[in-house]
Structure 1
Amino acid sequence: MLRTSFAAILLAGSMLSPLAALAGQAPFAASTPDIPISHKDRVYAAEQFSNTVSVSDPVDNKLLGVIKLGDPQPGNLSPLYKGQVLVHGMGFSPDHKTLAVVSIGSNSVTFIDTATNAVKHTTYVGRSPHEAFFTPDGKEVWVTVRGEDYISVIDASTFEEKTRIKVAPGPGMQIFSPDGKYGYICSSFNPDVAVVTVADHQIVGHVKQASPFCPNIAASADGKQVWFTLKDVGKTQVFNAEAPFDLIKTLDTGPITNHVNLVVNKNGSFAYVTVGGLNEVKVFRTDNFDQVATIPVGNLPHGIWPSGDGTRIYVGLENADQFAVIDTLTNKVIANIPIGQAPQAVAYVPNAVPQGDGMQNLVPLGTAGDAAHLKLATKGDKDKKQSTSVTLFNQGLTQVLQASVTGLDPKKPYVLALSDNANGSGPLEGLASFMTNPAGSAIVNTVGPIRQIVEAKHKDERRYLVVATALDGKPDSVVQVQAD
């Protein structure tokens, strides 16, 4: 009996361990024992263009299958369509039994049983929700309704909206202090983080953002810091998790700074930031904010989440349809996992499948794994150094094109276009107009039979993607050309 109890204590991360003080991974408290990686764990990604949730085993770094929440285009254009559209956000319950998956286009939160991959309920909320997360006591789910001006508070037992918390228009994401006292809500439309008491839903503090566009926020396991990213200006900011919620640090992280997450391991405490425009993850110490690593990961890193013991961190590559798996002790990519189209939010759920193989209700990746990848480089660059990554996500006869455009002048109008010539000369056909953000970057989307055009076998039928300056809304001077 004594032997069994001692073994159980060791497995749980006993205080007898010399690393016990380092235990506890966000979003849980530092006192929460680390959970070693096992076949019971699952890694999930919300995939925007295939409308799927991928499910992977972290031991083998292997895709097990996907949960199909909807159809790709054009199936989801029907007025009788009942599936989800633009599967994007993701959170999970403190007991590790439930995923909350947000679909932007269908204004929904889908609750999924992690053990069986079955949909338990779908709750519809206001316009264009972005992210959802459970309160630390597991009683509520807060959903940022980014297309409006409130947080939808859902009862986690009934899945019904119980109240709304009024905030500035465009709330981006919320996360909670590990003790469950505060909710921290950053904004995608206003330069303001609101701090709200979980017990009574009252705003008790504000933090000024350096720009209006925050997509992601994370709270440290020790309850001392909150980190949030600013996608439009390429910065990451840190503030005090307790009143007066004062700003501690502003870091220049790079164009299309996407998500941030926090890791504690035997080397210390670190923040991992995905920088989409550089195709990198940057790693910072949380004590002195020194950058300790830059990790090349692949095209357009977006969501990021650590394992239950902090030894690995999983990065969704939006323009590569993959997970990049990073060993946090060496800060090296140790594996890649093919997943669905345009992964956004990522979640690692320890002990998600306590019994059985967890393969119920999964389907193969299929055409959701079919995409073409291109790159554009600055015109005249003989080395063809990549500035822009382009992915063509298969939707049948058409593709969703997504370009992660970088290396341009800030706050200027441009056009993604087609040229008859590889060097961009001659007449141009505009595909999508866009404005760069203050970091000279942008995410550009369009739809059409583009893959057939840019990969045509006959030379006289092939055309090439370019980026041109805009003049009166039309393409003018070419600045980037297709490099492959």
Structure 2
Amino acid sequence: MSGTVIQAPALRGAQQISANDRVYTADQDSNTVSVINPATNKVLGTIALGKPRLDPSADVLGAMYDGEIDVHGLGFSRDGKWLDVIDVTTNAIHIIDTATNKVVRTMYVGRAPHEGFFSPDGTRLWVAVRGQDYISVLDWRAGKEVDRIHTEDGPSKVVFSTDGKLAYVNHLRASRLDMIDVASRRIIKRLPIPEQAGGSSDEAISPDGRDIWLGMPVNGRTTAVVNAQTFRVEAVMNTGPRTNHPNFVTVGGVDYAYMTVGGLDETLVYRRSKTGAPPTLVKTIHNHGHGPHGIWPSPDNTRIYVALQNSDAVDVIDTHTNSVIKTLPIGQSPMALVYVARNTPATSTQNLGRQGLGMRTENLPLRVSGSSGEGTALIRALPGINEVTIGATGLPPNQMFTAYASDGTRTTALMTMMSNEFGRIDEGLSYSYFFANHYTSVILKPGTPPGEHEPGPAMPMA
């Protein structure tokens, strides 16, 4: 393939899937980027940016650790030559050469950056610093910040209009969508988002430039659809708990939006409206794993890829049948996922390793005792320890619960946590030797173990 590539999401007529292309995931537990060849659906390896979570050989939580923690966000340049990677906890931004898998630049910004994207001309990187209230504009080649665009509290992501003249910023802790003039870097409009939608963690703009869809993980109920031409909210929909990332596909002349719903292990498919009417749900895809999170299509609109946060895998979906045709094991706790089209050959495994691959995971049904509710417990092997992640819905709101590991005869308290105002526990974490102790189930009970102090309220996860 030669000439200019068209990046997804794309209108009809873009180039087909190529062996030059790559699918990437940001793996938060293994602190890696997984690299996939979409032409063969082969996992080529991982790019390690730090040691795995709680690695005993690295003292990851110690004061002398100098690696990265919580690899989370991804973006890319429009020419497909550069990938940016965001580390939420260590505030790092990495630039990776997609031809060689090599990190060519690392920069640091303010507290808890979430997502970043290259400007349309590729000269600047715009990073949403979600722990604060600004967009950091970076001259990535020089490795320095050149501007700050102050926004509402908790900016989550930046997407650019198809013509590159406008940028849109959503917010986790503010019900606003900011429109920014790219040339002047000034906010020119602020759109109120209905309060019932809540804060937004992710957003995507359709390839025709008409729609901006916002994923709302906090209240577990809604997705907002914004008309980018009129800058008005056209729909607020109930999509499910932990609604995560949206993206777009056109099949047979029909425009669709896909939305991952982490709490239901589903990817929803909507027919987009051209008249301002609410979108129509046409398909519910049951993912082949748990916690669907990041999502991105191929430029030719034939495939869409879904990161499965709680199964350490990627689902490959055929968009003509809306069925999962392949599930690929990748690094641990994948969050963002992007498809990057490239027009030159890429080295296959240069600068790649195996960190985070082939680690054991099990998802167990949560046994809720003494209360309403249901959920799952993810058991993930880490170096030297196991991570137990609790997710539950249908609980009484704002109530303490304790999770216990059991082998049928012994019961051991793992952690105490509080359900949120919606009766959910999104991501309760504890660490133990679950597999080595031959535990077989996880039980969730109201209250705290005797002699323990009650914890504070749950924080929203995104």
TM-score between both structures, scaled by the size of structure 2: 0.88
Tell me the residue number matched to 1:319.
Answer: 310
- Cα deviation, residue 415, structure 1: 2.3
Tell me the residue number matched to 2:283.
Answer: 293
- The reply on whether 1:408 has 2:395 as its aligned counterpart is yes
Per-residue CA deviations over 1:385-415 (Å, capped at 9, x if unaligned) read 9932222222222122222322323x42232
**TM-aligned CA distance change 1:179 to 1:416, over 3 Å:** farther
Per-residue CA deviations over 1:236-280 (Å, capped at 9, x if unaligned) read 11111134x111111111111111111123241111000011100
- The reply on whether 1:219 has 2:205 as its aligned counterpart is yes
In the alignment, residue 353 of structure 2 is paired with which amino acid?
A: V
- The reply on whether 1:46 has 2:36 as its aligned counterpart is no
Per-residue CA deviations over 1:267-321 (Å, capped at 9, x if unaligned) read 4111100001110000001125111110000211000000121110000000100
**TM-aligned CA distance change 1:80 to 1:223, over 3 Å:** same
2: CA distance, partners of 1:206 / 1:448: 46
In the alignment, residue 373 of structure 1 is paired with which amino acid?
A: N
Q: Secondary structure at the match of 2:169?
A: strand
Q: Is the 8 A contact 2:30 2:356 kept in 1?
A: no
2: CA distance, partners of 1:380 / 1:312: 44
Q: 2:190 aligns with which of 167, 189, 206?
A: 206
- Equivalent pairs, count: 440
Unpaired runs of at least 5, structure 1: 1-6, 14-22, 457-461, 476-484
**TM-aligned CA distance change 1:264 to 1:428, over 3 Å:** same
Tell me the residue number matched to 2:134.
Answer: 150
Tell me the residue number matched to 1:465.
Answer: 442
Q: Secondary structure at the match of 1:369?
A: coil
**TM-aligned CA distance change 1:390 to 1:303, over 3 Å:** same
**TM-aligned CA distance change 1:35 to 1:432, over 3 Å:** farther
In the alignment, residue 82 of structure 1 is paired with which amino acid?
A: D
Q: Which runs of 4+ in 1 moved over 4 A?
A: 365-368, 377-381, 419-423, 471-475
Q: Is the 8 A contact 1:90 1:345 kept in 2?
A: yes
Q: Is the 8 A contact 2:7 2:341 kept in 1?
A: no
2: CA distance, partners of 1:217 / 1:59: 27
Q: Is the 8 A contact 2:405 2:414 kept in 1?
A: no
2: CA distance, partners of 1:315 / 1:264: 17
2: CA distance, partners of 1:427 / 1:337: 34
Q: 1:374 aligns with which of 335, 359, 364?
A: 364
2: CA distance, partners of 1:419 / 1:366: 25
Per-residue CA deviations over 1:324-358 (Å, capped at 9, x if unaligned) read 01001110000000001000000101127x22543
Tell me the residue number matched to 1:278.
Answer: 264
Whichever of the two has the greater Rg, that structure is 1
- Cα deviation, residue 142, structure 1: 1.1
Q: Is the 8 A contact 2:369 2:443 kept in 1?
A: no
Higher relative contact order (CA 8 A, sep 6+): 2
Tell me the residue number matched to 2:159.
Answer: 175
Tell me the residue number matched to 1:394.
Answer: 381
Tell me the residue number matched to 2:16.
Answer: 36
2: CA distance, partners of 1:413 / 1:246: 37
Q: 1:246 aligns with which of 208, 214, 232?
A: 232
Q: Please give the root-mean-square deviation of Cα atoms over the aligned residues, in Å.
A: 2.8
Q: Is the 8 A contact 1:192 1:212 kept in 2?
A: no
TM-score between both structures, scaled by the size of structure 1: 0.84
2: CA distance, partners of 1:396 / 1:421: 22
- Cα deviation, residue 177, structure 1: 1.1
2: CA distance, partners of 1:465 / 1:281: 26
Q: Percent identity?
A: 36
- Cα deviation, residue 473, structure 1: 5.7
- Cα deviation, residue 86, structure 1: 0.4
1: CA distance, partners of 2:184 / 2:364: 50
**TM-aligned CA distance change 1:157 to 1:202, over 3 Å:** same
2: CA distance, partners of 1:437 / 1:120: 44
**TM-aligned CA distance change 1:201 to 1:427, over 3 Å:** same
In the alignment, residue 444 of structure 2 is paired with which amino acid?
A: V
- Cα deviation, residue 380, structure 1: 8.9
2: CA distance, partners of 1:24 / 1:220: 12
Q: Is the 8 A contact 2:329 2:357 kept in 1?
A: no
**TM-aligned CA distance change 1:274 to 1:386, over 3 Å:** farther
- Cα deviation, residue 208, structure 1: 2.3
2: CA distance, partners of 1:303 / 1:368: 21
Q: 2:244 aligns with which of 258, 267, 281?
A: 258
Q: 1:67 aligns with which of 33, 47, 66?
A: 47
Unpaired runs of at least 5, structure 2: 456-462
2: CA distance, partners of 1:89 / 1:399: 24
Q: Is the 8 A contact 1:141 1:155 kept in 2?
A: yes
**TM-aligned CA distance change 1:199 to 1:407, over 3 Å:** same
**TM-aligned CA distance change 1:272 to 1:420, over 3 Å:** closer
Tell me the residue number matched to 1:19.
Answer: none
In the alignment, residue 166 of structure 1 is paired with which amino acid?
A: H
Q: Is the 8 A contact 1:44 1:53 kept in 2?
A: yes
Q: Is the 8 A contact 1:144 1:172 kept in 2?
A: yes
**TM-aligned CA distance change 1:416 to 1:253, over 3 Å:** same
1: CA distance, partners of 2:326 / 2:373: 23
2: CA distance, partners of 1:323 / 1:146: 26
- Cα deviation, residue 46, structure 1: 0.2
2: CA distance, partners of 1:247 / 1:167: 19
What are the within-5 Å matches in structure 2 for residues 91-102 of structure 1? 91-102=75-86
